[in-house]
Amino acid sequence: MTALVLLFFLVAAAAGVGCTTVSYNERGLVIDGERRIILSGSIHYPRSTPEMWPDLIKKAKEGGLDAIETYVFWNGHESHRRQYNFEGNYDVVRFFKEIQNAGMYAILRIGPYICGEWNYGGLPAWLRDIPGMEFRMHNKPFESEMETFTTLIINKMKDAKMFAGQGGPIILAQIENEYGNVMGNLKDHESASEYIHWCADMANKQNVGVPWIMCQQDDDVPHNVVNTCNGFYCHDWFPKRTGIPKIWTENWTGWFKAWDKPDFHRSAEDIAFAVAMFFQKRGTLQNYYMYHGGTNFGRTSGGPYITTSYDYDAPLDEYGNLRQPKYGHLKELHSVLKSMEKILVHGDYVDTSYGDNVMATKFTLGSNSACFIHNKFDNKDVNVTLDGTTHLLPAWSVSILPDCKTVAFNSAKIKTQTSVMVKKPNTGKKLRWSWMPENLRPFMTDERGSFRKNELLEQIVTSTDQSDYLWYRTSLEHKGKARYNLYVNTTGHELYAFVNGELVGQHHSANGDFIFQLDSPVELHHGKNYISLLSATVGLKNYGPLFEKMPAGIVGGPVKLINGAKGTGIDLSHNSWSYKAGLAGEYRQIHLNKPGYLWRSRNGTIPINRPFTWYKTTFQAPAGEDTVVVDLLGLNKGVAWVNGNNLGRYWPSYTAAEMGGCHHCDYRGEFQAEGDGQKCLTGCGEPAQRFYHVPRSFLKAGEPNTLILFEEAGGDPSDVGLRTVAAGAVCASAEVGDAVTLSCGQHGKTMSTVDVASFGVARGQCGAYEGGCESKAAFKAFAAACVGKESCTVQVTSAFAGAGCASGVLTVQATC
């Protein structure tokens, strides 16, 4: 009996090895009985590749993060009903196992509505085919499909033992997403309330063993979830219920980019200010959205008009490189916060006001204290005396004093390096192209469609979003020749019009309401005339109340032929219209470069500025491990593939707007992505996106790689080329007593020269500094320590001033 009892306990103990308990109180998550501060970052698995995941996660951990947060992408996993995809960059279980292998926690945001600037907010378009379907409201069709998918994901995670109670990394799970932002704009408040409570009940009955969260659900909060905050700042937000922790699920590190917009940049100083303020005001878990933004491969970008790049100005750039100084500055902040973890989650706290916008907070635990002091003025520095010591706080900054005596970190003082990333042309011969016309002939009549209808239908429902393209085709008999204007009213986003096989007009909508008109002169001949209209979408709406009902295509029209001279017209809106989704090249899978395709080339010459044209070339993979991008300047709009892998939509002919924020940048004051307060914008008046990521895993070493372009609008590939991305200049500024570390950031990449080592540099930026007092001693020290090295560290001493230079801030610049 004793042996059997002993065996039972041994088996039970083995079964519990590595299992983690997760609960919470008002001061934080409680993991294995210990209150914790959690620093997390969003990395979306489909926006990178499985080969990139370990490195991205490793960099996140080295940056001081405890956890990785990700959405789950329903329409990526189930683009056709009950046909699932969990392969490649949709292998969500593999992604969570990589997080586990790195020794990090995970936050699973199932949604399954996710927003995320993802096509249709992550919801599959086929849902629209189900009778009685109302998205995100209390109705059986939607709730049934939502529960089916949610249960599928949870069971996959359970089978792989990914939840904390099973020994896995997942410590929190999220159901729904930002529903509170739209509830007030929905007419049926009762249905909305019933739906959100149903979501919470459905989630909790899954028995995942970790708390469920709902973000932006400040009103009508179900009792069995923890509501959380999203935004640029969440320090002044508190849960409305007692006993739950203050969690920040999305700290926006930048902003997404649209085809007509410049690049948004949120400064490292401002993000650090926001994070420090959050923890000063009793925050417990904060997540950077995004920590790595990545790429909207294929047709996954939402919007409409969201770019293929989802860089987001995140601490890791689109390609996974460190964005310095943002990455390093936040890493230093994380280290200081972690050193204070116990006192922050257990200590008593006292807030002391020093007048408007200035406050100190002292946390005390036993004989130990830790302090924060913040200055919310955006136009003046202040002196604050704390426990007999006066501290100077720059405007819009937070100082952290782990012992309430010495400032260990100030959010406005960056001591980590700045890296300027450069895109270097690939050495080699100019690319040689062949081409193939898109076969439009089958679509130039109204025959052989999928079906006919005597009305103009909505595009998303008609095509179930299986292609960007939908053909609307009709015909009419006409007596004699006549000139008309073809008038089409459409909800776009693009439109190409053909009459009797000839392209007579093309137009795209401005970013906004996506309603526009095409008005093109046409000539009809005697007899039967064919009108073919090709409507195209550029990502589907992903956010807002009833976003799914925003129409696309030529729904309702009207479509008319107008005779200007006579003032008469022919309304074709209720003609018999033939419908067909997609292009012939899509059905033939030309992007896969199968044998037997007839590519044309006359001694390397190709037609240019020809709409609906396929181009093909081959190239050798650039040597080394640097990021690879393809420069598509000269092209108009289309799609690019490398070795059959879809890089996403390209549109380099679209120019980013000039905006007020393009010519002003100051970290001080609140960051805004919309309205009059925008700042720190770059790329104004330039191509919205010129470079497109080619992950190394898409390439074959030592053999030709194939690049295929589908040029929809007519462009010139002559200057297309491959480039590599690496650090060019690296710079840092420091005061006497600081240690300066410079690094090229990539294995095998070394510094070739030290270019600047001066006090008081007044002009320019990293890579082009000017002025100041050159310090020969500093220059000599940095040259000796850094040239030929991947990284180096030099202590700044008073001896560096000498020779007439006033001590102060030393600026150093080196070239990698």
Catalytic residues: 178, 250
Sheet holding 613-619, edge to edge: 434-437, 613-619, 705-711, 638-642, 645-650
Contact status, residue 689 vs residue 257, Cβ threshold 8 Å = yes
For the record, the structure tokens of 771 come out as 């002025």
CA 169 to CA 689: how far, in whole Å?
A: 36
Label residues 535-566 b or e (16+ Cβ within 10 Å = b). bbbbbbbbbeeebbeebbbbbebebbbeeeee
CA 517 to CA 567: how far, in whole Å?
A: 19
Report in angstroms the alpha-carbon separations of 531 from 259, 451, 534.
30, 16, 10
CA 774 to CA 790: how far, in whole Å?
A: 24
Contact status, residue 269 vs residue 414, Cβ threshold 8 Å = yes
For the record, the structure tokens of 331 come out as 């890493």
- 485: closest CA among 519, 528, 530, 508? 519
Residue written as token pair 């329903």: 74
Contact status, residue 492 vs residue 540, Cβ threshold 8 Å = no
CA 469 to CA 465: how far, in whole Å?
A: 9
CA 534 to CA 540: how far, in whole Å?
A: 17
At residue 298, what are phi and psi to the nearest 5 degrees?
A: 60, -135
Q: At what angle do helices 326-339 and 268-280 cross, to 10 degrees?
A: 20
With residue 373 as reference, give the H or E element that holds it.
strand 368-375
Strand blocks (E) in 643-720: 645-650, 691-693, 705-711
Q: At what angle do helices 189-204 and 140-159 cross, to 10 degrees?
A: 20
Burial class of residue 338 in the structure, from the number of CB atoms within 10 Å of its CB (0-12 exposed, 13-18 middle, 19+ buried)? middle
How do 469-478 and 38-43 pair as beta strands? unpaired
Contact status, residue 363 vs residue 344, Cβ threshold 8 Å = yes
CA 671 to CA 272: how far, in whole Å?
A: 12
DSSP letters of 432-472? --EEEE---GGGSSS-S-SEEESS---HHHHHTTSSSEEEE
How do 285-292 and 247-252 pair as beta strands? parallel
CA 563 to CA 719: how far, in whole Å?
A: 44
CA 477 to CA 488: how far, in whole Å?
A: 19
- 778: closest CA among 762, 764, 792, 788? 792
- End-to-end Cα spacing for the chain: 71
For the record, the structure tokens of 635 come out as 């092209």
CA 640 to CA 647: how far, in whole Å?
A: 6
The one-letter code for the residue type at 371 is C
Contact status, residue 750 vs residue 766, Cβ threshold 8 Å = no
CA 288 to CA 269: how far, in whole Å?
A: 14
CA 249 to CA 229: how far, in whole Å?
A: 6
